[in-house]
């Protein structure tokens, strides 16, 4: 087992495109870290850099305290003792399930008896006891993904790298495999880096989540802290669908730049004063239906999606699309008065204002 450390890792592709800009990330031994971010933010690039398929342009990668990559020097992927699973189950259709799982062990020239034992063992681990002789074509998508996982686990990797490994599966199979993946990796004490674009999956599985934006990590934290104390407006928007709006914070409260919204100082969380960005989490908005109020309080429901715990509602409030969670089930077109009970304020950083 081993932790993974990235220090100031930058990566520029041969065409000049910079995909990673100084990534620092420390994944502890046995920790399950989810890596999330918008499409194109560099998640796959980061994972492939850890795996050794890409070499960083600067910075270093260490596994178990041992440097495996720095510019000009690198341990090849097969020397890193990592397991990897991708979205598209890359199992070989012309080999039996058992032969697929045995493949990395055969390449490592392990004794035949040991290979047979290990294949049986890892197939049982992923719930495919007795499937060794099956043709992969006869398996479901979920079972093929289990084969890919078994193959990654067979050589006893130090770290498991997953790139959208569950994303191609349908519910409820995906949910089931999520649960199994979590208990399996915990049981094995495996260090895991799990790339996913699915925010709920990341929140459900990870000890900590790293949020990537444009090739840089903007926050690494526990799911609870990411939801309640997002470090930047981007994180609040990306993970929690916060509504963002610019304005000015003074000692008496927040005044939006181009919107009637005014908030008392005691409902605004955040340091300092001056101009900046307000982030309103959907759970902090209450929609009063049919309630009287001044013209500035009027908003209209433009979208309302019913959900298990709350309706996901968007209202048009003087041109601002404000997202809210509602216990009720407001109908599109209904007039409501939004009340912001709490909001997060992020002062503009000098030099990046505007
Ligand atoms: P993600 O997995 O988060 O969607 P990627 O790591 O695949 O993001 O890509 C990050 C950025 O690098 C994107 O802008 C993408 O277009 C670019 N990119 C990916 N692969 C290459 C490549 N081989 N050459 C040049 N640019 C690439
Ligand atoms: Mg990707």
pLDDT at 61 over 90: yes
- 246 and 148 fall within a common domain: no
Which residue is listed with tokens 């989540």?
A: 209
CA of 176 to the centre of ligand 1 (A): 30
DSSP secondary structure string, 34-73? Answer: EEE-STTSSHHHHHHHHHTSS--SEEEEEETTEEEEETTE
Residues 193, 194, 200, 205: what is their CA dihedral angle, to the nearest 10 degrees?
A: -60
Torsion sign (Cα): 21, 26, 30, 31: negative
- Using one digit for the tens of pLDDT, what is the confidence trace for 292-318? 667 777 899 999 999 989 999 999 999
**What pLDDT shows up at residue 64?**
95
Asked if residue 48 has its Cβ within 6 Å of ligand 1, the reply is: no
Half-sphere exposure of 194 (CA within 13 A, CB side): 29
Q: Of 162, 197, 228, which closes a domain?
A: 228
Q: How far apart are CA 218 and CA 206, in angstroms?
A: 17
- 252 and 205 fall within a common domain: no
Q: How far apart are CA 315 and CA 322, in angstroms?
A: 5
Average pLDDT over every residue of 184-205: 93
- 172 and 252 fall within a common domain: no
Task: Please report whether residue 258 resides in a domain.
Answer: yes
Pocket test for ligand 1, best of 11, 12, 17 (most atoms within 8 A of CB): 17
**What pLDDT shows up at residue 122?**
93
- Using one digit for the tens of pLDDT, what is the confidence trace for 131-155? 999 999 999 888 898 999 999 999 9
User: Which atom of ligand 1 has the smallest separation from the CA of 42?
Assistant: 6
Task: Please report whether residue 105 resides in a domain.
Answer: yes
CATH number for 17: 3.40.50.300
CA of 209 to the centre of ligand 2 (A): 16
Asked if residue 40 has its Cβ within 6 Å of ligand 1, the reply is: yes
CA of 277 to the centre of ligand 1 (A): 29
Task: Please report whether residue 77 resides in a domain.
Answer: yes
Q: Of 228, 251, 285, which closes a domain?
A: 228
Average pLDDT over every residue of 57-65: 96
Q: List b or e across 85-111, with b for residues whose CB sees 16 or more CB atoms inside 10 angstroms.
A: bbbebebeeeebbbbbbbbbbeeeeee
Q: Determine the structural domain holding residue 59 and report its residue range.
A: 4-228
DSSP helix/strand/coil, 231: coil
CA of 19 to the centre of ligand 1 (A): 6
Task: Please report whether residue 352 resides in a domain.
Answer: no
Beta bridge partners of 70: 73
126's tokens: 């992923």
Asked if residue 15 has its Cβ within 6 Å of ligand 1, the reply is: yes
Task: Please report whether residue 235 resides in a domain.
Answer: no
- 33 and 100 fall within a common domain: yes
User: 245 or 296: whose pLDDT is higher?
Assistant: 245
- 220 and 341 fall within a common domain: no
Task: Please report whether residue 353 resides in a domain.
Answer: no
Rounded to 5 degrees, φ, ψ at 97 are -55, -45
User: Which atom of ligand 1 has the smallest separation from the CA of 46?
Assistant: 6
Q: How far apart are CA 157 and CA 126, in angstroms?
A: 15
Banded model confidence at residue 354, pLDDT cuts 50, 70, 90:
very low
- 208 and 102 fall within a common domain: yes
Task: Please report whether residue 354 resides in a domain.
Answer: no
Q: What percent of the chain has pLDDT over 90?
A: 78
268's tokens: 């605004």
141-153 and 112-125 helices cross at what angle (nearest 10)? 130
Residues surrounding ion ligand 2 at CB below 5 Å: 43-44
- 222 and 77 fall within a common domain: yes
- 300 and 168 fall within a common domain: no
Asked if residue 130 has its Cβ within 6 Å of ligand 1, the reply is: no
Domain count of the chain?
A: 2
- 252 and 147 fall within a common domain: no
Q: What is the mean pLDDT of the chain?
A: 92
Cis peptide before 172 (omega within 30 of 0): yes
- 128 and 164 fall within a common domain: yes
Task: Please report whether residue 236 resides in a domain.
Answer: no
Give the residue among 4, 18, 6, 15 at the shortest CA–CA distance from 57: 18
pTM: 0.91
Q: Of 200, 228, 256, which closes a domain?
A: 228
**What pLDDT shows up at residue 353?**
45
Q: How far apart are CA 226 and CA 216, in angstroms?
A: 16
CATH number for 305: 2.40.50.140
Q: How far apart are CA 113 and CA 231, in angstroms?
A: 53
The residues near 40 (Cβ < 8 Å, ≥ 6 apart) are: none
Rounded to 5 degrees, φ, ψ at 299 are -140, 160
Asked if residue 19 has its Cβ within 6 Å of ligand 1, the reply is: yes
**What pLDDT shows up at residue 171?**
77
**What pLDDT shows up at residue 241?**
95
Give the residue among 2, 14, 3, 17 at the shortest CA–CA distance from 55: 14
- 222 and 79 fall within a common domain: yes
Cβ atoms of residues 59 and 5 within 8 Å: no
CA of 138 to the centre of ligand 2 (A): 28
- 255 and 221 fall within a common domain: no
């Amino acid at each position: 087992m081993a932790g993974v450390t990235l220090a100031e890792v930058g990566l520029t592709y041969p065409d000049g495109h910079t995909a990673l800009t100084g990534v620092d990330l420390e994944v502890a031994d046995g920790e399950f870290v989810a890596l999330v971010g918008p499409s194109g933010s560099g998640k796959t690039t980061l994972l492939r850099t850890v795996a050794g398929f890409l070499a960083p342009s600067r910075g270093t990668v260490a596994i178990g305290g041992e440097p495996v990559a720095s510019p000009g020097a690198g341990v090849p992927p097969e020397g890193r003792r990592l397991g990897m699973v991708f979205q598209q189950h890359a199992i070989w259709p012309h080999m039996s399930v058992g032969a697929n799982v045995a493949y990395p062990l055969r390449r490592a020239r392990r004794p035949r008896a040991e290979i047979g034992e290990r294949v049986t063992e890892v197939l049982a681990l992923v719930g495919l006891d007795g499937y060794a002789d099956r043709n992969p074509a006869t398996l479901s998508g979920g079972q093929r993904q289990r084969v890919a996982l078994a193959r990654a686990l067979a050589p006893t990797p130090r770290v498991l790298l997953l790139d959208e490994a569950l994303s191609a599966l349908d519910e409820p199979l995906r949910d089931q495999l999520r649960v199994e993946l979590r208990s399996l990796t915990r049981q094995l004490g495996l260090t895991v880096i799990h790339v996913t674009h699915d925010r709920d999956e990341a929140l459900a599985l990870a000890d900590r989540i790293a949020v990537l934006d444009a090739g840089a990590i903007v926050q690494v934290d526990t799911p609870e802290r990411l939801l309640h104390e997002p470090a930047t407006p981007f994180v609040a928007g990306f993970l929690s669908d916060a509504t963002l709006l610019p304005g000015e914070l003074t000692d008496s409260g927040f005044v939006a730049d181009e919107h009637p919204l005014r908030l008392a100082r005691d409902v605004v969380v955040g340091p300092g004063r001056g101009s900046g960005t307000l982030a309103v989490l959907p759970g902090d908005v209450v929609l009063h239906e049919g309630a009287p109020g001044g013209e500035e309080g009027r908003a209209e429901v433009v979208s309302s999606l019913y959900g298990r715990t709350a309706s996901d509602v968007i209202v048009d409030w003087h041109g601002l699309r404000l997202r809210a969670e509602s216990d009720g089930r407001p109908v599109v077109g209904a007039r409501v008065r939004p009340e912001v009970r709490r909001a997060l304020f992020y002062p503009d950083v000098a030099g990046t204002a505007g």
